[in-house]
Structure 1
Amino acid sequence: MMTGVAMVLTMVAVFGLGGYGLRLLRLADGLDPLPRLGLAWGLGFGLLGWILFPLALVGLIDAPVMAVILIISASGIIFLRPFPRWEKPGPWGWVVLAAMAAALSFDLVEAVAPPVDGDSLTYHFLRPKEMLANHAIHAVARAVDGATPLLVQMTYLAPLSLGGERAMTLWTGLSGWLALLPMFALARYWLSPSWSLALVVLAATVPAWVYGAGAGQVEARLAAFVLVAAYALARWWHDRRWSFVILLGLAAGFYAGGKFFGLVFAALCVAFMLGRGAWRPALAVAMISALAGGQWYLFHWVTLGDPFFPLSWPYLGDDRFWDLAHQTAMKTYHYASETAVPASLPWLIAYPVAATFAPYPIWEAARTGLGPAPLLLAPFAIVSAWRWRRQALRSPLLVMAMLMLAFYVVWFLTGTTQRIRHLLPLLPVVLLVLGVAAQRGGRKSVAIGLAAVIILQLVGHMVFAVNYIQRVAAHEGRDDFLRRTLVNYDAALWLNAHLGPNDKVLIGERQLLYYLQVPYYFGQLMFQAQINLLSDSSQPEADLLADMRELGITHVLIDPHLDEPGAGNGLWRAGEKLHRAGCADLVDGFKAKFFLSRTLGLGAGESHFDVLRLRQSCAAGTP
């Protein structure tokens, strides 16, 4: 009962906050019902994450407090009246609705299952869970997935506090779909309901959306901010109202508050205004974006010494949390591994095609790609834009397209990570622009092509959902499901059964952190420096033990067994070194299920774990 109440109340609160925001911006009465509702979602979603940050900082996130906040927020929905009217779909509209229903059903079976996505279990779901348990926000001195902006994840706190895990996972499924509401609302300015809905289904079934929207990944939800920002910039471009300046600053700031790449997006929004000679609106957007998205950067600056931890080291930062060895390792191994091709003009042009049809593994396009639809629509859109070039030059879609193109150029040419899913927040705007133009340039051909792509993507979506469908059909229990779908889940069960609240385990299995019921420290090999687990570390055993003891660590989980030949990872080498030097005792060993792909069932095998108990000091010789 509370699961549904928590999810619905959070949803209405988001719309209500958006209603308050649009009312204050004097936009609520000047918009048609559907665009008003779509913009309210994007604005309200960001406002909820923003409001919950200071409350979590002081521990005011218990269920009663959360209920009061959500109820007050929900009252703003009165400013969204009148609501959009239901438009009866035509024959093709019912076909599109059927495709949407199929996709929704696949997402639903995922939403009611225990979470198994690695990133979600490492921080997207884990951080809200720990905030609720600790009644506080604690800084995590870890690069990439530790000291990261969490505005989107703050919205997960609301359903989690009121309805538990099931409410949170249902919320992520629902918010993943509602992130496309602004897309549908904007598409209706140019397209019929059927065409508009087809674009939504197209976006919601691309591999990257399927992979991330139903889990805790933020990229799909960030798309709502990009849609609102693109709309606000396009409207300001033509009528220069300050309401749209503020809306643009808020949306761009919320994107920055949810992901580092949002800083680039916000900077580009400012640059676009400066390009029009509007320095005052540009300054306003910069300041509002900083206010809307700066919470987490300020928090990390205060707690870790670096707002972009650890990117500013050694100019900013704290030597307790980072050092030269780890900075060098990040540059040498991690950053280099994130790019497969040079950041050059030829590859800038070739990347969209190559990432679709001949991707490098690091791009992760096979499981988190953006689908073939943009490439399918592009030729028709180009022909249409040329044919109606005078109208195109005056269209707000041109401004949106320019902003998306600018982001892509900066993203690629700066040599940052080339994982294609980082472009997912832009996809709805790209599909909107291409879809509107292409539909005018070849209606029948485009319709056939889009139908084929949607069918293909639905098949892929169904394959992704098979594990969840099997769980429902077999009435599979929680532990049985997790043993089958989560790598090394038995290790979490062992630790929960044998360790207590006074113990603390050093663990390198990121996907298990969410399910641990005992204190832990995540021993990531390269992204954290409080314990040196680099392969070339020559740290004396006694110093290594002292560092672990200083963090309260009592046990170490290593894979493989101590007596297995061959080099393990840095955590295994650290454990083996401590054991050999008499700094740790072997407690037990066990096996757990390992696999490379839970969706396809590939690469199944066994992991061999040992658990070590740390001594107070090192003794000479082997224990």
Structure 2
Amino acid sequence: MHNRHLISLLGLGLLLIWLFASFGSFYLVQKPFTPAAAAALANALLDLLTAAWLGLLGLGLGHRLLRWLQKLPPSNPPTLQSSSLPAFQPSTTELLILGCGLGLGALGLITLGVGLAGLLYRWLFMSLSLLLSLALWPDFLALYRRLRWPANRPNRLTMFYLFLVGLFTLLVALLPPIDWDGLFYHLTAPKLFIQAHRITSGFDVPHFNFPFLAEMLFTYAMLLRGDIAAKLSHTLYGLLLTGLVYLTARRHLSRESAWPSVLVLLSMPMIVTLAGWAYNDLALAFYQLAALYALLRGLGVRGQGSGVSNQRSVVSSQKSEGGAPTSTPVASRSAAQSPISNLQSPISNLQPSTFNLHWLVLSGLFAGLSMSLKYTSFIGPLTVGLILLWWLMRKKFTTPLSLSSILYPLSSIFSFTLPALLIALPWYLKNFFFTGNPFYPFLSSLFDGLFWDQFRADWYAQAGTGIGFDLKTLAVLPMLAMLGVRDVNYFDGRTGPLFLAFLPLILLYGVFRYRARAPERPPALDVLLIFALAQFLFWMLGVIWSRSLWQSRLLLPCLAALSPVVGWLWQDLAHLDRPQFSLRRFVNLLIGLALTLNLVELSLNFAQVNPLAYLTGQETRSEYLTRRLGAYYATMEQLNQTLPAQAVVLFLWEPRSYFCQVECRPDSILDQLAHDHYLYGSAANIAAAWKQAGITHVLLHRQGLEFIKREETEALSAPALEQLAVLEADYFEPVFEVAGAYQLYRLK
């Protein structure tokens, strides 16, 4: 018996050896993929895992920060209805979306501090990430325990659309960077900071001194992995923005409008485009909408049919959001006992009985993070602050005038403005110490600035080149913006047809107050419309002033706030249905057609870009970049191979220097020759100044020069072009030329 058992074990072992040997020998001879394909897939997976790791760190850190915020003492408003206030208890969905955004912002600020200290080293950030992962492990577990399968699932067609859009976006985001501003400054500044191991001044690129929160995240990702992981961090903000639009619609408008609002947002081709680029627009739209969302939560706004009434407890609120229930009881009136039809003002509709200063602090934090991305972002926090101020002015106090009734509104404003200013302040202090101008390069008439003078300020502003106060153009400005016919950057600002199609309804509900007293109309609808209107008017002022600001991409915060509005209007069309004709079904068909055409366009673009060639190893990084960037990348490759390490190259009419491996000084605002002609006059003086600055070579971009000529820029005068001809004849020695587009010269 014992021998039989040994024989059976021996036979089983031999069979296992045979199975391993047969499978191994087969795939060793007939390999399922080449080593190049395996390496490419492994690289893509590592990029994806790095971005996911960064997102998880942000999620855990944000969860920890929200827990700390929870510990702040509550502050009760002096109203009769405020006898019991709900605790600050974000739902699971809010923890995931708002927490991740808050944590990513904190990681950006940490990177800023470490960079200013001169500690931008890969080993340090790898160690920091590992330590954070261990320290935040309890937060990850707490979030995991709260996860529930969402109850409000989309229908199959919606899921199919979201899957394809997400797949196309992700695959393109996994490609090497080719976007203009990414190669100009979004990725170039982090690369230079990493090379210097510190955030430093001395670069004649004004964009390096913009608020740089997104670029700090790019720096973090590039230290961990590389530029593709940095791009994916912006893709992550696209996912967060999509979730926030869903959350805004569901909580503040109606449950039924949640997924339609997501479809409206993702009907914009610019979302997919920007999600694959190393830009900061998706992050800006997220933080501005998050500031507004947190304000609405602080003011206690709930939508009609959103799953819970306006005054329900946090327990039922969290159950409706799919989170783990809490034990905070709240006794208050239901929404049915305080109908909207009895209220007087859209902003006074907000319920004071659930007023919560914790949410105002969170709103201020998000407002500060938005001001850490762009100078022009201040309009969002300003609008949110004015909405809060208006609400405080309209609030009815039921107690006699007292010191507390006076101090409470001040504490509310303080709770919003102080976090916003503290979070945004580091970027402006950095600018002041680096350049002498906290708003560099703007407001140069008030502050001196490094590398800056009135000539460059006028060149950059292009004041007076906008549409002016042309009433006909202003009247059709929304249509022109959404059609994109005058956009200076057409491909990154396409809005799709839905906002234009719903524009009459937006005006009808917003301006003419249609159905203002209908019980189905949620109070937050007016707040979202006010926020979007402020964003649009600010953009319109820029378009009036300068043609360089005619970029529909800059309207993204406005359109993100309008997405829940359009989603709700889409659902509200049902009240216009007639027995003979259903307007809602007809609109459904049109929107379905628009989304189908959007998928067709995405598919064609996907086929043209052909990301699978790179992702499967059929195409190297260099081959892909040459195919997509053409003469520019070929020039960078030849420049890197030809010039010695100590070369210093001055670019003319080419602002992109990311792929340059020697020291390159880009023509950041395309004014290098014009400004030097203004300063030095003759070609001899210009060449001498360049020599004194250490310039050894000059790269001339002919197509960039032709672009400036077509723009009819007055500052690039005929005498300046004459001096360029003298420079080429007497002071430039040709080194190489690429496709007639670029010429590299040695400076004599």
TM-score by length of 1: 0.85
Q: Which of 41, 54, 74 does residue 10 from structure 1 map onto?
A: 54
Aligned counterparts of 1:397 and 1:357: Cα–Cα separation in 2: 25
Q: Which of 589, 593, 609 does residue 736 from structure 2 map onto?
A: 589
> CA, structure 1 residues 8+405, in 2 after alignment: closer, same or farther (shift >3 Å)?
same
C-alpha displacement of 1:527 = 5.5
- 1:103 paired residue number: 165
Does structure 1 conserve the Cα–Cα contact (< 8 Å) formed by 2:173 and 2:275? no
Aligned counterparts of 1:448 and 1:192: Cα–Cα separation in 2: 22
Aligned counterparts of 2:422 and 2:492: Cα–Cα separation in 1: 35
Larger radius of gyration: 2
Mapping of 1:422-571 within 5 angstroms? 422-442=554-574, 443-469=584-610, 471-472=613-614, 475-487=618-630, 488-508=632-652, 510=654, 512-524=656-668, 526=670, 533=675, 539-560=681-702
- 1:323 paired residue number: 453
- 1:257 paired residue number: 372
Aligned residues: 587
Aligned counterparts of 1:288 and 1:344: Cα–Cα separation in 2: 40
C-alpha displacement of 1:360 = 1.8
Deviates more, 1:495-504 or 1:142-151: 142-151
- 2:713 paired residue number: none
Unaligned regions of 5+ residues in structure 1, if any? 593-605, 616-623
- 2:552 paired residue number: 420
- 1:400 paired residue number: 528
- 1:603 paired residue number: none
Helix, strand or coil for the counterpart of 1:228? helix
Aligned counterparts of 1:574 and 1:500: Cα–Cα separation in 2: 28
In the alignment, residue 236 of structure 2 is paired with which amino acid? Answer: L
- 2:273 paired residue number: 211
Aligned counterparts of 2:384 and 2:608: Cα–Cα separation in 1: 42
- 1:150 paired residue number: 212
Aligned counterparts of 2:469 and 2:125: Cα–Cα separation in 1: 46
> CA, structure 1 residues 560+143, in 2 after alignment: closer, same or farther (shift >3 Å)?
closer
- 1:375 paired residue number: 500
> CA, structure 1 residues 403+346, in 2 after alignment: closer, same or farther (shift >3 Å)?
farther
C-alpha displacement of 1:346 = 6.4
Helix, strand or coil for the counterpart of 1:186? helix
Unaligned regions of 5+ residues in structure 2, if any? 1-41, 72-86, 300-350, 394-408, 575-583, 711-715
> CA, structure 1 residues 420+535, in 2 after alignment: closer, same or farther (shift >3 Å)?
farther
* Alpha-carbon displacement from aligned partner over 1:502-524 (angstroms, at most 9, x marks no partner): 11100136464111111111124
- 1:165 paired residue number: 227
* Alpha-carbon displacement from aligned partner over 1:348-369 (angstroms, at most 9, x marks no partner): 553112222473243x456522
> CA, structure 1 residues 611+424, in 2 after alignment: closer, same or farther (shift >3 Å)?
same
In the alignment, residue 550 of structure 2 is paired with which amino acid? Answer: Q
* Alpha-carbon displacement from aligned partner over 1:536-593 (angstroms, at most 9, x marks no partner): 66623443234323432211112459xx9x9998998665433544xx341423223x
In the alignment, residue 543 of structure 1 is paired with which amino acid? Answer: N
- 2:744 paired residue number: 611
In the alignment, residue 556 of structure 1 is paired with which amino acid? Answer: V
In the alignment, residue 37 of structure 1 is paired with which amino acid? Answer: L
- 1:83 paired residue number: 146
Aligned counterparts of 1:587 and 1:475: Cα–Cα separation in 2: 36
Aligned counterparts of 1:379 and 1:579: Cα–Cα separation in 2: 57
C-alpha displacement of 1:31 = 2.4
Does structure 1 conserve the Cα–Cα contact (< 8 Å) formed by 2:369 and 2:420? yes
> CA, structure 1 residues 192+324, in 2 after alignment: closer, same or farther (shift >3 Å)?
closer
> CA, structure 1 residues 4+393, in 2 after alignment: closer, same or farther (shift >3 Å)?
closer
Deviates more, 1:272-281 or 1:303-312: 272-281
* Alpha-carbon displacement from aligned partner over 1:50-99 (angstroms, at most 9, x marks no partner): 22111111232323322343345451445545434223777x62221211
Does structure 2 conserve the Cα–Cα contact (< 8 Å) formed by 1:556 and 1:613? yes
Aligned counterparts of 1:161 and 1:587: Cα–Cα separation in 2: 37
Aligned counterparts of 2:669 and 2:50: Cα–Cα separation in 1: 38
Greater relative contact order: 1 or 2 (C-alpha under 8 angstroms, separation 6 or more)?
A: 2
Deviates more, 1:132-141 or 1:66-75: 66-75
Helix, strand or coil for the counterpart of 1:507? strand
